[in-house]
Amino acid sequence: MPDPIALAAQLVALDTAGRNEDQALDLIEPLCAAAGLSVERIPWRPGRSNLVARWRGGGDLVLAGHVDTVPYDGQRWSRPPLGGDVVDGNLVGRGAADMKGAVGAMVAAACAAAEAEVRPFTLVMTAGEETGCQGAAALRDARVLPADPILIVGEATGNRILLGHKGAVWLKVAATGHAAHGSAPELGVNAIELLARAMQSLKALPASRHPHLGRSTVSVGAISGGSQVNLVPDLAEMLVDVRVVQVDDAARAAQAIEQATGSGSVQRFLELPSVWTDPASDLTRRVFDIAAVAGQPLEPQAAAYFTDASVLADPMNPRVYLFGPGDPAAPHTADESCSVDAITLARDVYLALLVRLER
């Protein structure tokens, strides 16, 4: 069985920030093959494939992780972001928490489960999760996974079970104004001001609420427009991130933008649905019983971030359990880290699920 911490450290040392995920798969694939799993790569883009490893033909219990990370440059790190060093009991580096620590634990658990000759299961490693789950979409389109999977997703939950997460809709807004000289702005229509008006309308939108997913949110992530100070800009763009808990959240945001700008366009360039697993199901109770960590009660909790489960889960019957060793506050930060003890514990829980969970 691979050492989950050593494997996680090797993965952290690889630069997979929106590229080159095949490097990580080159480490993982031979370990799975040596344990007797059949391995298949599903391409997405050059150098950016997904990995599907099946034990005994694969099963509907799926351990799912992603091997890409967000960028590490532009942040102040006290240690090398690709160092993969263990410092004071923590693995430090980009992706340690999100989610190469979990990937190391999952691969180790899968290899150990195969050695124990458990029932069929599937291990999935995806590319492109951080930018909208495009690798998972390639897997879905290839129809290589069970239609109604039980997904164990290794996102950073502090080794607590979460039953779902919000969805995400990303909007690209283009406002069209009328150019004029900066000394006579009344003769033009300022496209940037149109976007400012749209931003204010978004702030005034009432938030939808879900009893467990929480409330919907709207965030403007980028804005651009104008070319020089003495020219009233006739074009401007902004990117809007809507985290949805109800199906009409994004539609209401788009309508508010269109009414505020009066012209231009609103384009959806990412749509990922929210995911929520039945907390009262027998399966959920069994998962909690097996994965009980430090006396965690069966509390229906959810994450604000999206995951590959938006793409891979059965939309009519989502069976999704987020569980990973990373601290929820650590992903995407400088000096990102993950407790090595938590990685070991996650490996033990993943293995217990593979061995004991009836499906």
CATH code (residue 190):
3.30.70.360
Are both 148 and 181 inside the same structural domain?
Answer: no
Are both 250 and 308 inside the same structural domain?
Answer: no
Number of structural domains found in the chain: 2
Looking at residue 187, what DSSP letter applies?
Answer: G
Are both 23 and 143 inside the same structural domain?
Answer: yes
Per the CB < 8 A criterion, the answer to whether 135 and 50 are in contact is yes
Are both 23 and 46 inside the same structural domain?
Answer: yes
Task: Write out the chain's pLDDT in tens, 359 residues.
Answer: 899 999 999 999 999 999 999 999 999 999 999 999 999 999 999 999 999 999 999 999 999 999 999 999 999 999 999 999 999 999 999 999 999 999 999 999 999 999 998 999 999 999 999 999 999 999 999 999 998 999 999 999 999 999 999 999 999 999 999 999 999 999 999 999 999 999 999 999 999 999 999 999 999 999 999 999 999 999 999 999 999 998 889 999 999 998 888 866 899 999 999 999 999 999 999 999 999 875 677 788 999 999 999 999 999 999 999 999 999 999 999 999 999 999 999 999 999 999 999 86
* Residue 299 lies in domain: 4-166+274-356
Residue 158 falls in which region: left (phi positive, over 0), alpha (psi -120 to 50) or beta = left
Are both 83 and 220 inside the same structural domain?
Answer: no
Q: What is the pLDDT of residue 36?
A: 97
Are both 18 and 121 inside the same structural domain?
Answer: yes
Per the CB < 8 A criterion, the answer to whether 321 and 277 are in contact is yes
Domain boundary residue among 219, 245, 272?
Answer: 272
Domain boundary residue among 206, 237, 272?
Answer: 272
Are both 188 and 312 inside the same structural domain?
Answer: no
Domain boundary residue among 215, 242, 272?
Answer: 272
3-state secondary structure of 1: coil
Are both 173 and 41 inside the same structural domain?
Answer: no
Per the CB < 8 A criterion, the answer to whether 119 and 46 are in contact is no
CATH code (residue 130):
3.40.630.10
Q: What is the pTM of this model?
A: 0.93
Are both 33 and 54 inside the same structural domain?
Answer: yes
Per the CB < 8 A criterion, the answer to whether 308 and 145 are in contact is no
